[in-house]
Amino acid sequence: MTNQLFDAYFTAPAMREIFSDRGRLQGMLDFEAALARAEAAAGLVPHSAVAAIETACRAERYDVGALADAIATAGNSAIPLVKALGKVIATGVPEAERYVHLGATSQDAMDTGLVLQLRAALELIEADLGRLADTLSRQALQHADTPLVGRTWLQHATPVTLGMKLAGVLGALTRHRQRLQELRPRLLVLQFGGASGSLAALGSKALPVAEALAEQLKLSLPEQPWHTQRDRLVEFASVLGLIAGSLGKFGRDVSLLMQTEAGELFEPSAPGKGGSSTMPHKRNPVGAAVLIGAATRVPGLVSTLFAAMPQEHERSLGLWHAEWETLPDICCLVSGALRQAQVIAEGMQVDAARMRRNLDLTQGLVLAEAVSIVLAQRLGRDRAHHLLEQCCQRAVAEQRHLREVLGEEPQVSAELSAEELDRLLDPAHYLGQARVWVARAVSEHQRFTA
């Protein structure tokens, strides 16, 4: 049953539809229909039976509640579904019923049905990643020169730019898109091995049927069935875990920048969004919360799939079962995070003036490094560092701007003019390669997208 209270918040509707009960049933039924066509092509099933099987392979014809009850005793979803499929066929074309599921096993239907669902999920995730990357690319270019304070160990460090921060997320998304592209041929493969993986029930027709079945479903035929070799699914889950982590980092930074004490960047506002049940003034980072929540939940789900990998012999007891809800849950959580990330990236509200004011909260201290680097070339590194450290301590103790303290220090004024000091203590002149990093990330994105 769909968790209606929370699904709209944590999951994209299109992804939930893919992994709905109907979506799961249709994946298995698509396998059964394609199997009938493939076996008919190989001469194992009369062509007259195919139409009856295909007509019965529609998920809406089956009672989900009844199937759910049957699963409790059958041990998986394919056994009661195949029985129900046979009954439906028998009511119309009785002689076709004997050809249903010929030579296959329950896991063939379930795993291949899952792969068909994962193909749809992968396409959805790739499209969402592409849209988000496009948006971050535009925003990174727009804010390539928007300075804000860099923060290390949650303390003010040296200036960076908002564009540079967004380009960092963009770069990660590009790498994730590359990973998904690379794993696609490994993931989208047929599962068809019969009882123990040998397809012995089909005799000499086994390989022709397998090849035709793969072609029917537009899947690749792997080197052999993979009933207890689950690396393909775990690889996909792992990349989704990476995506969740990168989105979580984006959400974490957004939420920190939204803090009252920072107030530099905000999620887009909307009526009723981010409010409090008791405090009218609140503007909570509700989108970022989804990103952080997914990044927190997905690693545990991925670890479940890793824990389920040492599956015994040719078919597993319990470990395979542990996968059934886990991978769909990961897909749903990542889809929800991607949807919320797009909303944030598209409509983020930037307070550049507040960013500039926050750069000066420490009264020039964030640019002490800039002065120290120049002085080191003239006084030596240790002497320059010690001198700047003393000046910074004096500025803090006397609650004065570092520029004023440096201007009064004879050892500094002997080496640096007032104009040089002004320039060194201007954040806009200490952004390093920030613009270059933006350009490189955008270029990588464009090269992958082209």
Taking residues 312-326, what's their average pLDDT? 96
Q: Is 56 helix (H, G, I), strand (E, B) or coil?
A: helix
Taking residues 113-123, what's their average pLDDT? 98
pLDDT in tens, 408-440: 999 999 999 999 999 999 999 999 999 999 999
d(CA 365, CA 217): 63
Residue 278 pLDDT class (50, 70, 90 cuts)? low
Is residue 283 pLDDT above 80, yes or no?
no
pLDDT in tens, 159-209: 999 999 999 999 999 999 999 999 999 999 999 999 999 999 999 999 999
Q: What are the residue numbers of the active site?
A: 276, 315
**Range list for CATH 1.10.40.30 in the chain:** 365-424
CA angle 113, 116, 121 (to 5 degrees): 125
DSSP 246: H
> How confident is the model at residue 280, as a pLDDT?
56
pLDDT in tens, 81-117: 999 999 999 999 999 999 999 999 999 999 999 999 9
d(CA 145, CA 140): 9
The CATH number that domain 365-424 falls under is 1.10.40.30
d(CA 89, CA 32): 12
Taking residues 22-29, what's their average pLDDT? 97
Residue 1 pLDDT class (50, 70, 90 cuts)? very low
316: which 2 tokens? 């597993």
- pTM for the model stands at 0.94
DSSP 278: S
> How confident is the model at residue 5, as a pLDDT?
76
- Mean pLDDT taken over the chain: 94
**Range list for CATH 1.10.275.10 in the chain:** 1-104+202-216
CATH T-level topology, domain 106-189+226-360+433-450? Fumarase C; Chain A, domain 2 (1.20.200)
The CATH number that domain 1-104+202-216 falls under is 1.10.275.10
Burial class of 317 by CB neighbour count within 10 A (0 to 12, 13 to 18, 19+) = exposed
